[in-house]
């Protein structure tokens, strides 16, 4: 029942999406500081210089952060605060593979000077919504227990 309920919600506006991204970026920054701090501790307190394993581990932290939240509830903490949710193409929460695709395509959307996000001003979806077959919906009109 909630699957079709979320599928019928209106698309979330771009302001709410950016606000949720800001909230989540603060959380992710804190987590990445901890990961980097641990890495520096294992490097005997020296700076870490151009080690691909560090970049890969930071990407994996971001992937696990979004993948876990999106696949579990369709919402990160920032999305919950701004009452928006990600819904997979056929309703429900996206799978881990869909979350991975969405993150990769979101990086591409940002890398193109943010055009993938600004596309949302003209269409009801961003590039990464379209490519990963997901949509971000506004759940503010739903009762709290159904968000």
Residue the block writes with tokens 């920032």? 78
Of the chain, the percentage scoring pLDDT greater than 70 comes to 93
**Distance (Å, rounded) from C-alpha 106 to C-alpha 17?**
13
Residue the block writes with tokens 């799978």? 95
State the maximum Cα–Cα separation within the chain, in Å, rounded to a whole number: 54
Long-range CB pairs of 35-42 (<8 Å, 24+ gap) are 35/61
| 137 in Cβ contact with 10 (< 8 Å) | yes
Run of H or E residues at 144: none
- For residue 98 the two structure tokens come to 């869909």
Q: Above 60 in pLDDT, residue 2?
A: no
Per-residue model confidence as pLDDT tens digits over 11-62: 999 999 999 999 999 999 999 999 999 988 888 888 777 788 888 999 999 9
Q: Backbone phi, then psi, for 138, in 5-degree steps?
A: -90, 115
């Amino acid at each position: 029942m909630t699957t079709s309920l979320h599928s019928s919600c209106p698309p979330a506006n771009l302001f709410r999406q950016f606000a949720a991204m800001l909230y989540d970026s603060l959380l992710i920054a804190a987590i990445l500081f901890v990961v980097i701090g641990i890495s520096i501790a294992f490097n005997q307190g020296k700076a870490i210089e151009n080690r691909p394993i560090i970049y890969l581990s930071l990407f994996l932290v971001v992937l696990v952060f979004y993948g876990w939240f999106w696949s579990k509830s369709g919402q990160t903490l920032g999305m919950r605060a701004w009452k928006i949710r990600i819904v997979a193409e056929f309703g429900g929460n996206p799978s881990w593979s869909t979350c991975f695709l969405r993150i990769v395509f979101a990086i591409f959307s940002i890398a193109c000077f943010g055009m993938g996000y600004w596309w949302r001003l003209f269409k009801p979806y961003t590039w990464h919504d379209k490519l990963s077959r997901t949509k971000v919906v506004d759940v503010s009109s739903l009762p709290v227990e159904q968000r």
